[in-house]
Amino acid sequence: MIPVTYRASFSYLLRHPWQLVLSLLGIVIGVAVIVAVDLANSSARKAFLLSMDAITGEATHQVVGGPNGVSEDVYRSLRTEAGLTRIAPVIDGAATSDGLSLQLLGIDLFAEQSVRSFTGDAQDISSLFVSFLVEPGAVTASEQTAQELGLEIGDRFELFSSGRQHTATLVATFAADDSLDRVLVADVATAQEWLDLVGWLSRIDVRIEDGDTATLERFERALGPGTQLLSASGRTRSTAEMSQAFMTNLTAMSLLALLVGLFLIFNSVNFSVLQRRGLIGVLRALGLTRRQLLTMVLVEAAAVGLVAAIAGVLFGAVLGEQLLELVSRTINDLYFRVNVTEVSVSAFSVAKGIVAGVGAALLAAAVPAIEATSYEPRLALTRSVLERRTRHVLPIVTATGIAGMVAAIALILVSGTSLVAGLSAVFLLILGFALCVPLFVRAVSTLIAPLAGKLGGTSARMAVAGIASGLSRTGIAIVALAVALSATIGISVMVDSFRGSVNAWLQQTLQADIYTGTIREGSMEPELIAAIRAIDGVVDMSTRKRATVEDASGRTQLRVFELPPQSYDGAELIDAEPAPAWQAWESEDAVFVSEPYAYQHAVGAGDVITLPTDRGPRQFDVAATFQSYDINAKGIMMSRATYARHFDDDTIDSLGIYLAAGVDVDAVIREVERLSKDTQSLYINSNAGLRKESMRIFDRTFVITDVLYWLTLGVAFIGILSAMLALQLERARETATLRALGMTPGQVGGMITAQTGVIGLLSGIAAIPLGIVMAYVLIKVINRRAFGWQIDMTVAPDILAVSVIFAIGAAMLAGLYPAWRAGRSQPAIAMREE
Amino acid sequence: MRLTFTLFALLAVAVVYADKASEPPSQLAELLSADAEGYAKAIEPREFVFPDDHGPHPDFRNEWWYVTGNLDDKDGRRFGFELTIFRFALAPTKPESESLWRTNQVYIAHLAVTDADEERFFVAQRYARGALGLAGAQARPFRVWADDWFIAEEPGGAWRLVADDGDFAVDVTLRAQKPPVLNGADGLSQKSSQPGNASYYYSITRLQTEGRIRVYGREHEVSGMSWLDREWSTSALADDQVGWDWFALQLADGSDLMFYGLRLTDGTQDPHSGGTFIGADGAATHLDQEDVEVTVLDTWDSPEGGTYPSRWAVTVPRFGLDVTVTPVIANQELFTTVRYWEGAVDVEGSRHGERISGRGYVELTGYAQ
pLDDT digits (tens, 9 = 90+) for A176-206: 777 788 889 999 999 999 998 899 999 999 9
- Tell me if A680 sits within 8 A of A525, measured CB to CB: yes
Q: Which residues contact A504 (CB under 8 A, 6 or more apart)?
A: none
Q: Does A214 lie at the interface with B, CB-CB under 8 angstroms?
A: no
State the average pLDDT over residues A725-738: 71
Size of interface A-B (CB pairs under 8 A): 110
Q: Using CA atoms, how far apart are residues B71 and B54, in angstroms rounded to an integer?
A: 24
Highest-scoring range by mean pLDDT, A254-258, A604-608, B124-128, B225-229: B225-229
From the CA of B315, how many Å to the nearest CA of chain A? 42
* DSSP-based three-state secondary structure for A683: strand
**Nearest residue to B325 (alpha-carbon basis) of B353, B300, B358:** B358
- Going by the DSSP 8-state scheme, the letter that residue B99 receives in this structure is S
CA distance B247 to B313: 12
Residues in chain B: 369
Top-confidence residue, B278 or A700: B278
Between chains, do A133 and B98 touch, taking CB under 8 Å as contact?
A: no
- pLDDT for position A767: 86
Position A328 scores a pLDDT of 75
Instruction: Please list every residue in chain B whose beta carbon sits closer than 8 Å to the beta carbon of residue A136.
Output: 95-97, 102
Strands A654-659 and A538-551: antiparallel
Using a CB–CB cutoff of 8 Å, tell me whether B25 touches chain A: yes
pLDDT at A324 over 60: yes
Interchain contact, B134 vs A126, CB within 8 Å: no
Is A764's pLDDT higher than 80?
A: yes
Which range, A500-509, B39-48, B69-78, has the best average confidence (pLDDT)?
B69-78
Q: Is B138 on the interface with A (CB under 8 A)?
A: no
Q: Which residues of B touch A85 (CB under 8 A)?
A: 126, 147-148
Please check whether residue B261 is in contact with residue B273, taking contact to mean a CB–CB distance below 8 angstroms. yes
Q: Output the pLDDT for position B20.
A: 30
DSSP β-ladder status, B181-182 and B198-215: antiparallel
Helix (H) or strand (E) holding A564: none
Higher pLDDT, A709 or B91: B91
When pLDDT is cut at 50, 70 and 90, the band that residue A261 belongs to is low
Contact assignment for A126 to B164 by CB distance below 8 Å: no
For residues A19, A24, A27, A33, the Cα torsion angle rounded to the nearest 10 degrees is: -120
Smallest CA–CA separation between A341 and chain B, in Å? 29
Between the ranges A209-218, A459-468, B116-125, where is the mean pLDDT highest? B116-125
Cis peptide before A17 (omega within 30 of 0): no
What does the pLDDT read at residue A157?
A: 94
Show the CA angle centred on residue B237, arms to residues B236 and B238, nearest 5°: 115
**Is B34 part of the contact surface with chain A (CB cutoff 8 Å)?**
no
The least confident of A346-360, A481-495, B126-140 is A481-495
pLDDT the model gives residue B172: 98
Q: Which residues pair with B208 in a beta bridge?
A: B175, B225
For residue B159, give the nearest of B173, B178, B179, B180 by alpha carbon. Answer: B173
pLDDT given at position B284: 94
Q: State which of A19-28, A229-238, A473-482, A532-541 shows the largest mean pLDDT.
A: A532-541
List beta partners, residue B298: B311
Confidence at residue B68, expressed as pLDDT on a 0 to 100 scale:
97
Q: Which of A104-113, B121-130, B254-263, B350-359 has the lowest mean pLDDT?
A: A104-113
| Residue of chain A nearest B94, judged by CA positions | A134
- A129 vs B133: CB contact, 8 Å cut-off? no
- Taking an 8 Å cut-off on Cβ atoms, the answer to whether B28 and A189 are in contact is no
Per-residue pLDDT tens digits for A584-600: 999 889 999 988 888 88
| Distance in angstroms (rounded) separating the CA atoms of residues A332 and A584 | 36
Instruction: Using alpha carbons, select from A97, A162, A95, A137 the residue that is nearest to residue A679.
Output: A162
- Asked whether residue A317 carries a pLDDT value surpassing 80, the answer given is yes
Interface test with B, best of A125, A128, A212 (most B CBs within 10 A): A125
With a cut of 90, say whether residue B145 has pLDDT above it: yes
**Mean pLDDT, residues B217-235 taken together:** 94
Q: How far is A86 from chain B (nearest CA, A)?
A: 11
CB–CB of A514/A665 below 8 Å? yes
Q: Which amino acid is at B46?
A: R
Mutation site for B-interface testing, chosen from A134, A169, A188 by largest number of B Cβ within 10 Å? A134
A146-173 pLDDT, tens digit each: 998 999 988 999 998 877 889 999 988 8
CB A428 within 8 A of CB A404: yes
Q: Chain A neighbours among B 85-104 (CB < 8 Å)?
A: 90-91, 95-104
Q: What is the pLDDT of residue A127?
A: 62
- More confident of the two residues B173 and A153: B173
Range A811-830 average pLDDT: 73
Question: What pLDDT is recorded for position A518?
Answer: 83
Tell me what percent of the residues of chain A surpass a pLDDT of 90. 16
* pLDDT greater than 50 at residue A389: yes
Query: What mean pLDDT value characterizes chain B?
Result: 87
Which residues of chain B lie closer than 8 angstroms to A193, CB-CB? Answer: 97-99
Evaluate if residue A729 carries a pLDDT over 80: no
Instruction: For residue A85, give the nearest of B10, B16, B147 by CB distance.
Output: B147
The pLDDT, as a whole number, for residue A259 is 65
Q: How far apart are CA A760 and CA A783, in angstroms?
A: 30
pLDDT single digits (tens) A682-710: 888 888 888 888 888 777 766 766 776 67
CB–CB contact B90 A82 (8 Å): no
More confident site: B221 or A51: B221
Q: Is A80 on the interface with B (CB under 8 A)?
A: yes
With CB atoms and an 8 Å threshold, state whether B133 touches A125.
no
Cα maximum dimension of chain A: 104
- Best of B32, B99, B106 to substitute, by most chain A Cβ atoms within 10 angstroms, is B99
Q: How far, in Å, are A63, B205, B208, B284 from residue B178 at the CA level? A: 47, 7, 10, 11
Q: With a cut of 80, say whether residue B330 has pLDDT above it.
A: yes
Taking the Cβ of residue B20 and every Cβ of chain A, the question of whether any pair is shorter than 8 Å is answered with yes
Instruction: Check CB contact under 8 Å for B148 and A81.
Output: yes
pLDDT score, position B154? 94
For B337-368, what is each residue's pLDDT tens digit? 667 899 999 999 999 999 999 999 999 988 88
pLDDT in tens, B186-196: 999 988 888 78
| Dist CA A334 CA A702 (whole Å) | 12
What digits encode the pLDDT tens for the residues A58-68?
788 899 888 88
Closest approach of A202 to chain B, Cα-based (Å):
14
Beta bridge partners of A585: none
State the pLDDT confidence band at A502, using cuts at 50, 70 and 90.
Answer: confident
DSSP string, A244-285: HHHHHHHHHHHHHHHHHHHHHHHHHHHHHHHHTHHHHHHHHH
Cα–Cα distance list, A747 to A457, A640, A716, A731, A737 (Å): 11, 78, 27, 15, 13
A140 Cβ under 8 Å from any chain B Cβ: no
Give the residue among B67, B68, B103, B85 at the shortest CA–CA distance from B5: B85
User: Residue A723: is its pLDDT beyond 70?
Assistant: no
- Output the pLDDT for position B10: 43
Tell me which of B74 and A497 has the higher pLDDT.
B74
CB-CB: which of A80, A120, A122 is closest to B148?
Answer: A80
B103–A125 C-beta distance less than 8 A: no
Residue B77 confidence class, pLDDT cut points 50, 70, 90: very high
Residue A63 distance to chain B (closest CA, Å): 18
**For chain A, what's the residue count?**
834
Q: What is the pLDDT of residue A9?
A: 67
Per DSSP, A619 falls in state E
Q: Which domains does chain B have, with CATH numbers?
A: 3-364 (2.40.370.10)
Residues of chain A with Cβ-Cβ distance to B131 below 8 Å are 189
CB A63 within 8 A of CB A203: yes
Task: Report the pLDDT value the prediction gives residue B308, as an integer from 0 to 100.
Answer: 94
Closest alpha carbon to A356 in A251, A248, A507: A251
> Mean of the pLDDT values across residues A371-395?
66
Q: What is the pLDDT of residue B6?
A: 39
Lowest-confidence region among A645-654, A786-795, B272-281: A786-795
- Which pLDDT score, from 0 to 100, does residue B22 have? 30
User: To which H or E segment does residue A452 belong?
Assistant: helix A419-469
Chain A residue numbers with beta carbons less than 8 Å from the beta carbon of B27 are: 124, 126-127
Q: Closest chain B residue to A112 measured between Cα atoms?
A: B17
